[in-house]
Amino acid sequence: MKAFISSDMEGLPYTVSNEHMYPGQKLYDETRAIMTDCVLSVIEGLKAGGVDKIVVADSHGPMVNVLPGRMPEGVELLRGSPRSHSMVAGSEGCDFAIFVGYHAKPDTPMATFDHTINSAVIRRLTINGTEMSEFLLNSAYLGEVGIPVVMVAGDRALLDGDVSAHAPWAERVQLKQSLGRYSAISPSMVEVSRLLKEGTRRALGTFREGRAKLLRLETPAEVAISFQSSAFADVAADLPGSQRVGGSEVRFTTPSLGTGLNVIKLLVFAASGVKATTE
């Protein structure tokens, strides 16, 4: 069997400050170690369950967070950005997927760093009228290519919300309970490791017993992005076939989730460029 792990940061235990988020910030090295420890716990659970091939997609920010020197034999580490299909790049040929450190979508109460893709440029993202978290967006792409998500570890707000509603078969491992956007309570790292290993064992059972399902969205799909600024929509509206709705929303139709994911990425990079040159 071949497993795919996508690891984000905002849903990790203890991660509550902007100083945790990016290289050069005061608490960044702390979060790198936490992310690596969590990924390793999942890897150990997979190996104990007989999985011999594992791909880890480092999936936060610049996507160079996981400490490569601590990855064991038999694990491939995907790093760097930008890349096609972003957080789920490298999943081709895998049998199932596990998400680690995932967080809730924008405007979720009691959720640390609630956002989808980039909170500086995106206010809201929907597909066929359903508001997208990164979990839901990435799971839908994986479902389209035949890969079920069997476990999600992260913020309770995400687990009790989108994961429970859209992927009830997936094992849910709570790494934190948020008390607000910048505060949360988490178990000890010893317990986190145990919870991740036990969750991975149960998730493997779900997959082997055929209880894991594919999360699918109907295609062609209508994507609607509400931007944080009308200036970002000014540029996004130049996408051929797109429709401008009001000052800050742009809609387009995508033939597949894979194509839609890459177009969203393109528009986010374009909006980020506008932000960098005008603000």
18 and 155 inside one domain: yes
Residues shown for the chain: 279
Q: Is residue 120 part of a domain?
A: no
User: 202 and 225: one domain?
Assistant: no
Question: What is the C-alpha end-to-end distance of the chain, expressed in Å?
Answer: 48
Tell me: do 46 and 111 sit in the same domain. Answer: yes
Ranges of residues in the chain whose predicted pLDDT is under 50: none
What tens digit of pLDDT does each residue of 108-158 get? 999 999 999 999 999 999 999 999 999 999 999 999 999 999 999 999 999
**pTM (predicted TM-score):** 0.97
Q: What is the pLDDT of residue 206?
A: 98
Q: Does any domain span residue 173?
A: yes
147: CB partners within 8 A, 6+ apart: 4, 91, 94, 95, 96, 97, 214
Shared-domain flag, residues 154 and 241: no
Three-state secondary structure call for residue 176: strand
- pLDDT for residue 44: 98
Show the CA angle centred on residue 219, arms to residues 218 and 225, nearest 5°: 95
Q: What CATH number did the domain enclosing 15 receive?
A: 3.40.50.10780
Structural domain of 145: 2-115+134-208
**Number of domains observed in the structure of the chain:** 2
